[in-house]
């Protein structure tokens, strides 16, 4: 087990206890890969074979429909991610996973991930708990979208993930917030006047 996977190991153990032998079994399948800004992990039409852990960097998950880029999520250090629906259903992706900043990513194939879950009850539990956490995060995001104004959500993003604004152009953040670039610019102007 290469030492570079220490942070992934820590992340897993933050969810549930895992024996050293199970951990070693699981981590052996992960490959460390580096990507340059502008590269794609996923493009429309592809089948999703892999599951990812972002060690360092940033990837943007988006679609383009009728020429409009729609950002669904930015994944940064410490996040697990993939294009989950096509990954599960083994259908073609309709999305992009584009590296937005030079990144180090740990990659495990779906086949290997299933082996890991088969082999270790503890790691299956980790899978359940990490999915549970992702569920809760999404649920809370829905509530923010429904219950807060766009201005409030902009301010909250600025507070909770300030580094995004260094990493990613503003029009992508606007899309993530469900706004046009013009709309976000107006909000910023309104706020700067106070």
Binding site for DNA (CB under 7 A): 149-151, 169-171, 178-190
Structure tokens at 45: 């039409």
Q: How far is CA 59 from CA 15, 41, 77, 128, 184, in A?
A: 23, 9, 10, 24, 22
Structure tokens at 38: 């502008």
Q: Which of 21, 34, 43, 132 is in the footprint of its own copies by CB under 8 A?
A: 132
> Binding of its own copies at residue 145 (CB under 8 A)?
yes
Residue 29 or 117: which CB sits closer to its own copies? 117
Cα 62 from Cα 74, distance rounded (Å):
9
Please, is 18 exposed, middle or buried when counting C-beta atoms within 10 Å of its C-beta (0-12, 13-18, 19+)? buried
For residue 151, the partner it binds in its own copies, DNA, none, with Cβ less than 5 to 8 A by kind, is: DNA
Beta-bridge partner residues of 64: 69
Residue 76 or 120: which CB sits closer to its own copies? 120
Residue 190 C-beta: closest distance to DNA, Å: 7
For residue 128, the partner it binds in its own copies, DNA, none, with Cβ less than 5 to 8 A by kind, is: its own copies
For residue 38, the partner it binds in DNA, its own copies, none, with Cβ less than 5 to 8 A by kind, is: none
Residue 3 C-beta: closest distance to its own copies, Å: 28
Cα 115 from Cα 138, distance rounded (Å):
27
Residue 65 C-beta: closest distance to its own copies, Å: 7
The H or E element spanning position 72 is strand 68-76
Residue 142 or 159: which CB sits closer to its own copies? 142
Beta-bridge partner residues of 59: 75, 99
> Binding of its own copies at residue 85 (CB under 8 A)?
yes
Residue 2 or 178: which CB sits closer to DNA? 178
């Amino acid at each position: 087990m290469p030492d570079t996977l220490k942070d992934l190991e820590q992340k897993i153990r933050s969810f549930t206890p895992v024996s050293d032998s199970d951990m070693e079994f699981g981590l052996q399948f992960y490959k460390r890969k580096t990507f340059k800004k502008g590269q794609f992990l996923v493009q429309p039409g592809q089948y999703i074979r892999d599951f990812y852990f972002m060690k360092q960097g940033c990837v943007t998950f988006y679609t383009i429909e009728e020429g409009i880029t729609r950002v669904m999520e930015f994944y940064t250090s410490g996040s697990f991610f993939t294009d989950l629906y096509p990954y599960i259903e083994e259908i073609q992706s309709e999305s992009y996973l584009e590296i937005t900043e030079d990144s180090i990513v740990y990659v495990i194939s779906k086949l290997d991930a299933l082996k890991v879950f088969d082999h270790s009850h503890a790691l299956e539990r980790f899978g359940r708990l990490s999915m549970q956490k992702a569920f809760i995060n999404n649920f809370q995001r829905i509530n923010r979208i429904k219950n807060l104004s766009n201005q409030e959500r902009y301010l909250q993003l600025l507070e909770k993930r300030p580094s995004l604004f260094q990493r990613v152009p503003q029009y992508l953040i606007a899309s993530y917030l469900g706004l046009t670039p013009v709309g976000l610019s107006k909000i910023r102007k309104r706020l700067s006047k106070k």
